[in-house]
């Protein structure tokens, strides 16, 4: 029996096409993936992200603990701010990528991938149990308490203040939602309940993510669709979520990241604060930074007309001595660029932008080229 979010009825009423996503019955599309994708790029789209996990970490030792288990510099997070960060094991394999938000001096909220909630909670409990400050530390899986939506697109700022009124009363102190800076988070009142709103997202567009209790989020969803209608808002499913994040080269756990890939190999060194002091996985990451990696995540574009690249397709070097050298981790036909795009792992010598490669599709090579990230950039 698949799990359903509080918005399941709303998806059914919109005739969403539903699929099994990591044990959840989720909408992959409502109308068309391309249409939904372009709505987010040009206007606005709203996504049910209730399947994601929320873990609270609190107590006087919380900041020290998180700084030890996460790769980014947690200590520099002020209340009302969040950061992208990674959870690694001792070999620096990635357990998850996530956002860490500081709600107050002693209270943090981690928003984690749906597929990794159990693994993350188990790991954090295990590490907390042996942490010196553990008597002043509490780790709780709060995922079942919360639903969430993401509203993304250039027109969102035009109507979101009419959906969720300011001022905020928790974390960042702002007069209205659109006063939040990127990566800020604040508590607001909505329909007599509390919601947390962050200026974050997984699409490369301006937008917000809103977390709250199930029945509150159902009302937020409806309000956004109503108030955003004149701006062209559309409900958007996991299909568009995937094409949007692939265009801007955001990793997806289970594809670019897993326990066999380190943040440095995945090109996420910016989110690894090697100089902050000791943390789990530091030694391998420091060595990789100093000595280099054996595989590196690249972005690529198809260079002729071809079928779209897809996960697990082999990547070949080009030329007369062509060999399979790597593997596609994510791939699709880009709705914004109207060409095949993707990401994959290659040895460092093939990782330079401009390197010609071949993607093996149904036994034949289709030409492609390594490009800098992100593959899609907003036109200025």
Partner 1 sequence: MANVPTDLKYAKSHEWVRVTGDLATIGITDHAQHELTDIVFVELPQVGRKVKAGDACAVVESVKTASDVYAPVSGDVVEANKAAVDDPALVNREPFGGGWFFKVKLANPAELDALLTPAQYAAQISVA
In this chain, which of 56, 303, 306, 355 binds partner 1, going by CB under 8 A?
Answer: 306
Query: Shortest gap between Cβ of 289 and partner 1 (angstroms)?
Result: 37
Query: Shortest gap between Cβ of 269 and partner 1 (angstroms)?
Result: 31
Number of residues that bind partner 1 (CB under 8 A): 17
- Print the binding letters for residues 11-50 with partner 1: x by CB under 8 A, - otherwise: -----------------xx-xxxx----------------
In this chain, which of 134, 138, 213, 310 binds partner 1, going by CB under 8 A?
Answer: 310
Could you tell me the two tokens for 137?
């530390």
| Residue 342 · residue 330 · CB < 8 Å | yes
**Would you count residue 362 as binding partner 1 (CB under 8 A)?**
yes
C-alpha triplet 54, 58, 61: angle, nearest 5°: 135
Which residues 82-141 are close enough to bind partner 1 by CB under 8 A? none
Q: What is the DSSP secondary-structure string of 140-177? A: EE-GGG-EEEEEESTTHHHHHHHHS-S---EES--SSG
- Print the binding letters for residues 252-291 with partner 1: x by CB under 8 A, - otherwise: ----------------------------------------
Which residues 187-246 are close enough to bind partner 1 by CB under 8 A? 239, 243
Which C-beta is closer to partner 1: that of 255 or that of 282?
A: 255
End-to-end CA, the chain: 47
Query: Shortest gap between Cβ of 33 and partner 1 (angstroms)?
Result: 5
Query: Shortest gap between Cβ of 205 and partner 1 (angstroms)?
Result: 19
Sorted by sequence, the CB contacts under 8 Å of residue 296 that are 6+ apart come out as 265, 267, 345, 346, 347, 348, 351
Which C-beta is closer to partner 1: that of 262 or that of 332?
A: 332
Sorted by sequence, the CB contacts under 8 Å of residue 278 that are 6+ apart come out as 68
**Would you count residue 358 as binding partner 1 (CB under 8 A)?**
no
What is the spatial distance between Cα 250 and Cα 234, in angstroms, rounded to a whole number? 22
In this chain, which of 7, 332, 357, 376 binds partner 1, going by CB under 8 A?
Answer: 332
**Would you count residue 303 as binding partner 1 (CB under 8 A)?**
no
What is the spatial distance between Cα 267 and Cα 77, in angstroms, rounded to a whole number? 22
What is the spatial distance between Cα 46 and Cα 48, in angstroms, rounded to a whole number? 7
Query: Shortest gap between Cβ of 267 and partner 1 (angstroms)?
Result: 25
What is the spatial distance between Cα 60 and Cα 136, in angstroms, rounded to a whole number? 5
In this chain, which of 333, 344, 346, 376 binds partner 1, going by CB under 8 A?
Answer: 333
What is the spatial distance between Cα 270 and Cα 241, in angstroms, rounded to a whole number? 24
Question: CA torsion angle for 10, 12, 16, 20 (degrees, to 10)?
Answer: 100
| Residues of the shown chain interacting with partner 1 in the complex, contacts defined by CB under 8 A | 28-29, 31-34, 239, 243, 305-308, 310, 332-333, 335, 362
């Amino acid at each position: 029996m698949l799990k359903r979010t509080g918005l399941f009825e709303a998806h059914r009423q919109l005739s969403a096409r539903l699929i099994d996503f990591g044990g959840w019955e989720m909408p992959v599309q409502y109308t068309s993936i391309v249409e939904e994708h372009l709505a987010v790029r040009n206007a606005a789209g709203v996504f049910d992200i209730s399947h994601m996990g929320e873990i609270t970490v609190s107590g006087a030792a919380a900041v020290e603990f998180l700084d030890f288990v996460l790769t980014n510099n947690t200590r520099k997070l002020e209340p009302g701010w969040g950061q992208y960060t990674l959870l690694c094991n001792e070999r620096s394999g990635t357990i998850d990528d996530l956002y860490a938000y500081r709600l107050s001096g002693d209270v943090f909220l981690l928003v984690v991938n749906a597929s990794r909630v159990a693994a993350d909670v188990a790991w954090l409990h295990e590490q907390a149990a042996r942490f010196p400050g553990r008597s002043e530390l509490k780790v709780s899986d709060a995922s079942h308490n919360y639903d969430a939506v993401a509203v993304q697109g250039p027109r969102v700022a035009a109507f979101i203040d009419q959906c969720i009124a300011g001022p905020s009363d928790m974390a960042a102190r702002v007069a209205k939602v659109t006063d939040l800076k990127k990566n800020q988070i604040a508590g607001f009142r909505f329909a007599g309940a509390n919601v947390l709103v962050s200026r974050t997202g997984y699409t490369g567009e301006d937008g917000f993510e809103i977390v709250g209790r199930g029945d509150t989020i159902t009302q937020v969803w409806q309000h956004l669709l109503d108030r955003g209608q004149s701006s062209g808002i559309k409900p958007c499913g996991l299909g568009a979520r995937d094409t949007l994040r692939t265009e801007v080269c955001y990793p997806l756990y289970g594809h670019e990241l897993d326990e066999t890939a380190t943040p440095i190999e995945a090109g996420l060194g910016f989110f690894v604060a090697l100089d902050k002091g000791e943390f789990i996985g530091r030694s391998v990451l420091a060595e990789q930074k100093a000595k280099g990696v054996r595989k590196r995540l690249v972005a690529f574009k198809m260079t002729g007309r071809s079928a779209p690249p897809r996960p697990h397709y082999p990547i070949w070097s080009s030329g007369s001595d062509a060999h399979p050298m790597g593997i596609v981790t994510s791939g699709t036909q880009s709705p914004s660029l109207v060409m095949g795009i993707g990401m994959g792992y290659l040895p460092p010598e093939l990782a330079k932008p401009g390197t010609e490669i071949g993607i093996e599709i149904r036994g034949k090579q289709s030409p492609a080229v390594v490009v800098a990230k992100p593959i899609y950039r907003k036109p200025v």
